[in-house]
Amino acid sequence: MNIKGILLIFVLLLFIGCGNKLHQRDDVAKVDKKPNIIIVLADDLGYNDVGFNGSTDIKTPNIDKIANNGVVFTNGYVSYAVCGPSRAGLMTGRCQDRFGFSRNPLFAPKDSTQGLPLSEETLATVLKRGGYRTMAIGKWHLGAHPSQRPLNRGFDEFFGFLSGGHHYFPEKWDLNDISEVKSQYDPYRTKLLKNNDRIEETEYLTDALSREAVSFIESNKEQPFFLYLAYNAPHTPLQATQKYLDRYENIEDTKRRTYAAMVSAMDDGVGRVLNTLEKLNLDRNTIVFFLSDNGGPEPHNASDNGLLREGKGTLYDGGIRVPFAVQWPTVIPKGEKYDRPIISLDIFATAIHYAGVNPKKTLDGINIIPYISSNNEGIPHEFLFWRMFDKKAFAVRNGNMKVTKWDIKSELFNITNDIGEENSLEDAFTLQQLESSYYNWNTKNSNPVFLGLSQNDEYNKAHSNRFAEVEKY
């Protein structure tokens, strides 16, 4: 090969290797100070149950504002199909299987292993290093042991509850604290926590969470902040106040009507948050993410995943593809849709990039802003992987193709043409290639480090006196 040929190859390699990086510079010049970060997380919200994904019976005008002000991810995924592991992924920017958070944790306030391993850093911890003020509001579900609570995991403030769910009406909060908890689901009835103290709260839960979010923003308008607003709506129990039920007199099915009312309460809360940002002139430099922690458990809470197959608890897209949008008016275009697959793990990497601070661990997500802030033809993730350890199930997404291994066999779908995963393709070669990529990825994962919700009885046998605990530490 002559010198010209070698030079040509060198130049080509340079372009292949740097394609994404060139685009990553596009937006940086426009950002002159650290953006505030807000994550609004819904709980068990169906893919189809927001206006921006086509809901016709449930109105979400405020959540839709995020879509209108920014970008909707039509192929936005979470890293797991139920609450706890999905939140562990979101909060660390790492696939939770890397550190064995592969089950929904049990409520076990004496057990420091039931939650996010202390070796992992949360987004709040990293952002605090970057000078951010941090607050978690709502559902925690990442451990109830003192060492696992939000104030010990990077958050300056906390308002909410530690368990995987909660009653919504204050009159149902009849347990003073965890010393009165006797079973796995009793924490749904405890009084709320404000930092480390139990408080008397009188508002409907969703409204109280929204109020605290507004208050936090107002108190921190002079400095960069990170707000993790984790609504438990519309997770069961299905409970809504008359104010919100009245908006859906047209929905005859009472379950669906109550669910719609709960989504509406959350939507009002998102409206209050967005209005506060605008009022304080913070909206242009605040990145607001909205997503659900997993797909809707359709029959259970009357959610609707639209055309997606199945729902919460499965690795079909109904379990892991969620309503997902982001706004950041300074940088992101308005009212666009982005169709390439992205994942909740990307939120961490995106946030710390603009906060100008580095994590201690290797992330599985990437900064997605360069892909949506310009006509970037790059692919954020060539592969996405999911593992459901106890079921020996997994899924792989590679471009338009998806392998879903559920029950005993793997099936290959063209998820773009066949969004409902109905027609399994006869392409043994591609199937085998994607399966191999999964097994290779899985070599770097850990086995589960704690027993989960479905092993409640087994855990109780090994841990008598599991709940007998005083509240103060």
Catalytic positions are 83, 141
Handedness of CA 287, 263, 85, 312 (dihedral sign): negative
Stretch of 41-49, 57-65, 124-132, 181-189 lying at the interface with Ca ion (CB under 5 A):
41-49
CB 107 within 8 A of CB 115: no
Q: How far does Cα 105 stand from its chain's mean position?
A: 16
Minimum CB separation of residue 408 from Ca ion in Å reads: 27
Q: Which is nearer to Ca ion, 293 or 304 (CB)?
A: 293
Stretch of 8-16, 42-50, 191-199, 297-305 lying at the interface with Ca ion (CB under 5 A):
42-50
Minimum CB separation of residue 203 from Ca ion in Å reads: 22
Strand locations in 389-450 (E): 393-398, 401-406, 409-414
Instruction: Indicate the SS3 state at residue 23.
Output: helix
Minimum CB separation of residue 24 from Ca ion in Å reads: 32
Q: According to the binding rule CB under 5 A, does residue 293 interact with Ca ion?
A: yes
Closest CA to 163 of 100, 175, 465: 175
Q: According to the binding rule CB under 5 A, does residue 298 interact with Ca ion?
A: no
Minimum CB separation of residue 65 from Ca ion in Å reads: 23
Place of tokens 């909660």: 166
How many residues form the binding site for Ca ion (CB under 5 A)?
5
Q: How far apart are CA 441 and CA 232, in angstroms?
A: 32
Stretch of 15-23, 35-43, 115-123, 457-465 lying at the interface with Ca ion (CB under 5 A):
35-43
Residue 139, phi then psi, degrees to nearest 5: -80, 130
Q: According to the binding rule CB under 5 A, does residue 251 interact with Ca ion?
A: no
DSSP class of residue 172? G
Q: According to the binding rule CB under 5 A, does residue 121 interact with Ca ion?
A: no
Minimum CB separation of residue 8 from Ca ion in Å reads: 53
Who's near 87: CB < 8 A, 6+ residues apart? 41, 141, 142, 230, 293
Q: How far does Cα 470 stand from its chain's mean position?
A: 31
Q: Which is nearer to Ca ion, 43 or 120 (CB)?
A: 43
Residue nearest to Ca ion (CB): 83
- HSE-up of residue 2 (Cα within 13 Å, Cβ side): 1
- Of these, 67, 83, 162, 369, which contacts Ca ion (CB under 5 A)? 83
CB 107 within 8 A of CB 164: yes
Handedness of CA 387, 47, 346, 419 (dihedral sign): positive
Q: Which is nearer to Ca ion, 83 or 326 (CB)?
A: 83
Q: According to the binding rule CB under 5 A, does residue 410 interact with Ca ion?
A: no
Who's near 24: CB < 8 A, 6+ residues apart? 367, 370
Q: Which is nearer to Ca ion, 150 or 359 (CB)?
A: 150
Q: Which is nearer to Ca ion, 44 or 469 (CB)?
A: 44
Minimum CB separation of residue 83 from Ca ion in Å reads: 4
Q: Which is nearer to Ca ion, 44 or 97 (CB)?
A: 44
- Of these, 27, 44, 207, 310, which contacts Ca ion (CB under 5 A)? 44
Q: According to the binding rule CB under 5 A, does residue 294 interact with Ca ion?
A: yes
- Of these, 23, 24, 34, 43, which contacts Ca ion (CB under 5 A)? 43
Residue 20 CA: distances (Å) to CA of 29, 66, 74, 371, 377: 16, 26, 21, 9, 9
Tokens of 219: 């108190």
Q: Which is nearer to Ca ion, 44 or 317 (CB)?
A: 44
Applying CB under 5 A, the residues found at the interface with Ca ion are: 43-44, 83, 293-294
